[in-house]
Structure 1
Amino acid sequence: MTTTKEAQLTATLETPSAPTNERVGSVSAAAYRIRHHALNMGEVQGQGYVGQALGAADMLATVYSDQLNYRAEDPEWEARDRFLLSTGHYAIGHYAALAEAGIVPISELETYGSDDSRLPMSGMSTYTPGMEISGGSLGHGLTIAVGMALGLRYQGSDARIYNFLSDGELDEGSTWEAAMGAHHHQLGNLTAMVDINALQADGKTDTVLRTEPVTEKWESFGWYTQRVDGNDVGALLAAFDNAAAQAAAVGRPSVILCDTKVGRGVTLLEEREKAHFMRIEEHEWQTCREQLTAGYEGKASA
């Protein structure tokens, strides 16, 4: 629950202005390109976690094209903000975002998942520029993020930590231990984002382990909590702006809960029943690209 002191602090912060149409348009265009890159990479293997990449593209585009402080030519720049992909199997979407950011060459995306590629199917920090942590067992990312945020504060750094989690990771006790730790240490330099697509490997999230009411849970752990449509760029920008207004060396950590749709932007994939790990037939890839482009151009002209 929010304490009186925290409520007073929030009330004194200036509310950011609404995102401009220019910002929304710029991030939406980046999200479209990220989705396009993900489809091209998926076609290399003919299968993969394409649905998650499409669903999370707006989140990734908002962070990389509007929020994150980094240098594309120097991925290990000491003053950089850190983006931690807790969900290693979302790497295909992250690679697309890294390419959009200029950290990974777009031409290299065609090596995705191939032997000796710097872009393995699950994220590996030892292989890929801009990949801060390796993906493996889920539920560890927020713990690492807490340690990084605390370490940066001790170093006197203004850098921020952004941690990307999935709703399935909310099944893990380690996630909630980290959430308690972040509040205890008052890590105002930490923002978590949760992709709530309601699906995990074993089925629908609410049938595997019911985590709702998830907003109230994060609030009770002392986090500044917002829940938005994760496929609405304007809502995402406003939420991240609000989180940035909260950011401080000492303060409340922030979490943005993002409701998304697996396969977003490609009708063919949005309607797939088995969507956690998709097998897409050879003749379907071009249809996917055409649907993606038609949907994006239709929105842009509306």
Structure 2
Amino acid sequence: MAAPAGLSRKLFKMAAPRNCFRSASPLLSEACPRWRRPAEECFPSVTSAEEPAPPLPHVVAPGSHFRSGLTRAPPARGRDHWRQRPAQTSDPGPPMSGPPVCTAPLGAPLIPGTPYSVLVLQEGYSRALPDGRTEADGSVTLVRGPQLTLVDTGGPWGREQLLAQLAAQGVAPGAVTHVVCTHGHSDHAGNLNLFPQATLLVGFDLSRGRGLYLPHGLGAGAPYPIDPGRVEVVPTPGHTAAHTSVLVQGTALGSVLVAGDLFEREADEDVWRGLSEDPARQERSRRWALSVADVVIPGHGPPFRVLRGEPQAPEPN
């Protein structure tokens, strides 16, 4: 597999695919090819010949396009397990067919690019404690370019750390033009008040200035363009009803999706449903995400690559 133009072999080969998503439920009796991941980590791929993935940009909510063949796991206890959720009555539908989609750790916090690069300032985490509590904080990501954008701000306990992380990049809070909080949980929106001059988007609430709220089409499925065709906020409902992700296109690794808690981490099949307000919608949003992203930055883990088609063995050093 050749490295894309302008991308070093070292960056391209940082990790081999390790987490594969198979095409149909009967294949759960098998392990994924070549990389020999356990079959339980496989699920149907994001595309099919009958129902291809939609191109971007588009004006239909991503969750409306894909049907899932997964059965639901029992809710996992952990962060937010106490939140009351609506009853889950919808059926995600039959499994889909198509080539496998595999993921692999990115292995670096920076995705270079022109005019936009993406830097993970803080890698999110979530750890269960022996006494039943959970220690967690969200990923914080800086999208550098003509529109300097911060995606998620971490928890309020990390205020000074966030200011130091920005200062280390030569960024003053007043220089940030847009702040996107993928949803309103405290570990993602806890430092919003550091950026009163920026355009602020928290879930589907868009504001600028002193209490001035602006119209947009996120609730109807339309992306909100920060820089049209380059940086766009897209609705990815499920974890919360108004959950969003930020899609950055044209980096050295392709399209980068800063996904909030659409993905807790790579290989998160054991936890994400138990933290979701609407697992069926989130499943569809996740499949859409895997159909368009080359790199995903999850809410509580390191970034990972998305590799479509049959995985190839890594090149020798």
How does the TM-score come out when normalised to structure 1? Answer: 0.31
Which TM-score applies when normalising by structure 2?
0.30
